[in-house]
Amino acid sequence: MTAPDTLADLEEIRALNARYNFAVDQGTPEEWAATFSTDGVFHALIEGQTPKGHAELAAFVPLCRDTFGPMRHLTMNEIITVTGDTATQTCYLLFFANTAGTVSGTVCVYTDELAREDGAWSFSDRKVAPVMPFTSYAPAA
């Protein structure tokens, strides 16, 4: 049986995933950076990009949007292990991007380390790895 505190932690981490997704998709750099711990790091799909700390993370959002265009991030199938004020998570990401009028999609895997700072969960280390492109669609002109 899972303790009530742990269930609350799991739901808070799932909500963190949603805030992360909406912030990057809507292009709100400060909100996205706030999903990371003070010295959090993101291992991005964009080659050479590993922003660390809130300033670098916030600066990454415009680069991400310039690279991929409008995006949608959908996370699911979370496997979360909570140990006190730290946690690990592995989950799927369905990533959609509209680059120059062509919509493409990729299944990715996030591998996360999380920390509770000031009573709230945040990503301390987030890695994303593509595992399967699944669609490409170019609407008729």
Q: Which domain holds residue 24?
A: 4-137
Query: Is residue 63 predicted with pLDDT exceeding 60?
Result: yes
CA distance 94 to 115: 24
Query: Is residue 136 predicted with pLDDT exceeding 70?
Result: no
The answer for residues whose C-beta is within 8 angstroms of residue 33's C-beta and 6 or more apart is 54, 55, 57, 58, 61
Number of domains in the chain: 1
Round the average pLDDT of the chain to a whole number and report it: 93
The pLDDT tens digits of the residues spanning 65-77 come to 999 999 999 999 9
Which pLDDT belongs to residue 99? 85
In this prediction the pTM is 0.91
CATH number of the domain encompassing residue 13: 3.10.450.50
Which pLDDT belongs to residue 41? 99
The pLDDT tens digits of the residues spanning 1-44 come to 467 678 999 999 999 999 999 999 999 999 999 999 999 999 99
